[in-house]
Amino acid sequence: MKVFQRIFASAKVHGALWHAGPRILRLGSGIIASAVVARYLGPENFGILSFATMMATLAAGLVQLGSLEVVSKNAAVHPEKMRSLLRSAMKLRLGGALLAGIAISVLPVWFGHGALYLILAILPLTFVPDYVEAAFYGRSDFRTLAPVRAFSSLLGMGLRLYLATHDKPIEAFAMVTVIEGGTTALLFLWFRKKIPGGNLPQAPFPSSLLFRQSMPLVASSMVVAAMLKLDQLLLQALRPGADVGYYYVVVRLFEMAGVLIPSLVAVLLPDLARLRAVSEEAYERKMVFIYRRTYQLGLLAAVFGAVAAPWIIPLLFGANYAPAVPIFVAYAFMFPSLVVGSVRAMEFVISNKNMNHLLVSMLLLPLQLGFCAVGIHWFGPTGLAAAMAVVGFISTTVFSLILHPLRESGALQRKALGGLLRWGAA
């Protein structure tokens, strides 16, 4: 009993629980809402809605002109620059949101469904105040804003369930996405004045500096995001219709599970950034342990998902989505790469090697195009899911081990893989 008391008394564990709690709630509410909406809309319309939301979210990557990772890092190590940092982040993120909104509004030229995309063009604006949350996380305060995410998730679930039971059109579900994000944004702005460190004597943090630090992340994250969505773009282009809906119920489940990954990253980043500044040797030991545990848990989750797929899909989405079962089995093995890639991205931020994202993406692009196109041609959405699992492993592990610019990450990952069967503490 005393052991558990000591564990839960830890500040890091408290932070992880406060950060992960709302995301666990979001995961649960998202699964419930997606299951109901998918049953209501059917595979084809669910695919249309999911594809439109994906395209809007992809364009919203331009909001990262005021990168959340950069805000968190600078809030952790330069609290005396907090107010200026927040002003710079707000201006850059607002500019990126306006550009993203314009981009989304022209998508109906290619995909139709004009009303759907015009509603989603508002979505990037709701991401602007996320810099407030990033500043709280940079000061290791994960508790204050936890209720905001929890409330928004429950609101979004409630509205989607209402629409699905009252025979509402597909555009109404897009509006709920905007309302959920807008509620979060307004509440974040309300809490802005309570950011820890905001009352310290302030030094300037010019927008130009934040822009320079953010640009490598913006460029790489946009390319990486596009590549992560390339499978969906290819499937929409090569096999539109119900196959897209079957694929999306699987992708959406894994995307919702992925909301927990930022919890790990956000909790670890401030302490790891400070640890690296004090002792690189201690930092490397900690990173090897984190990589090892990430590989282990990712593989266990993949095996569990593959075994449970024949029960998970019919239970959540009904017998109409039975063709999604083999897709789920194949895509489950993408999960280790998703979590390892998230940890490596954190490492790039800490070590100021953000251009490595772009390098990996550019080298991976032709491989991904080939693997995904062949997978779709031979085996449809199931082949595509398997191709994505292979591509994910190449991107997050193989490239780290063979590319010279990634040698620091490769050394850490090699040590972690060498002790993959070890489950002890760091």
What pLDDT shows up at residue 204?
72
Q: Give Cα 168 to chain centroid, integer Å.
A: 29
What pLDDT shows up at residue 7?
38
Amino acid symbol at 178: V
What pLDDT shows up at residue 375?
95
Neighbours of 212 (CB within 10 A): 11
Which tokens belong to 121?
Answer: 């063009």
What pLDDT shows up at residue 4?
37
Residue 331: partners with Cβ closer than 8 Å, 6 or more residues away: 250, 251, 254, 385, 388, 389
Neighbours of 86 (CB within 10 A): 21
What pLDDT shows up at residue 2?
44
Q: Which of 377, 56, 112 is nearest to 229 (CA)?
A: 56
What pLDDT shows up at residue 20?
64
What pLDDT shows up at residue 425?
61
What pLDDT shows up at residue 159?
96
Q: Give Cα 215 to chain centroid, integer Å.
A: 19
Rounded Cα gap, residues 109 and 376, in angstroms: 25
Q: What is the pLDDT along the chain (426 residues), one digit of tens a residue?
A: 443 344 344 455 555 566 666 777 777 888 889 899 999 999 999 999 999 999 999 888 888 877 777 788 777 777 777 888 888 888 889 999 999 999 999 999 988 889 999 999 999 999 999 988 888 877 777 788 888 888 998 999 999 999 999 999 999 999 999 999 999 999 999 988 888 665 655 667 777 777 777 777 677 667 767 777 889 989 998 998 899 999 999 988 887 766 667 666 667 777 888 888 888 899 999 999 999 999 998 999 999 999 999 999 999 998 899 999 999 999 999 989 988 988 898 888 788 787 787 788 788 889 999 999 999 999 999 999 999 999 999 999 999 999 999 999 999 999 999 988 777 665
What pLDDT shows up at residue 270?
74
Is 165 exposed, middle or buried, given 0-12, 13-18 or 19+ CB atoms closer than 10 A?
A: exposed
- State the pTM of this model: 0.78
What pLDDT shows up at residue 264?
64
What pLDDT shows up at residue 8?
40
Q: Give Cα 339 to chain centroid, integer Å.
A: 10
Amino acid symbol at 86: L
HEC assignment per residue over the chain: CHHHHHHHHCHHHHHHHHHHHHHHHHHHHHHHHHHHHHHHHHHHHHHHHHHHHHHHHHHHHHHHHHCHHHHHHHHHHCHHHHHHHHHHHHHHHHHHHHHHHHHHHCCHHHHCCHHHHHHHCCHHHHCCCHHHHHHHHHCCCCCCCHHHHHHHHHHHHHHHHHHHCCCCCHHHHHHHHHHHHHHHHHHHHHCHHHCCCCCCCCCCCCHHHHHHHHHHHHHHHHHHHHHHHHHHHHHHHHCCCHHHHHHHHHHHHHHHHHHHHHHHHHHHHHHHHHHHHHCHHHHHHHHHHHHHHHHHHHHHHHHHHHHHHHHHHHHHHCHHHHHHHHHHHHHHHHHHHHHHHHHHHHHHHHCCCCHHHHHHHHHHHHHHHHHHHHHHHHHHHHHHHHHHHHHHHHHHHHHHHHCHHHHHHHHHHHHHHHCCCCCCCC
Which tokens belong to 271?
Answer: 């302490």
What pLDDT shows up at residue 16?
58
Neighbours of 167 (CB within 10 A): 8
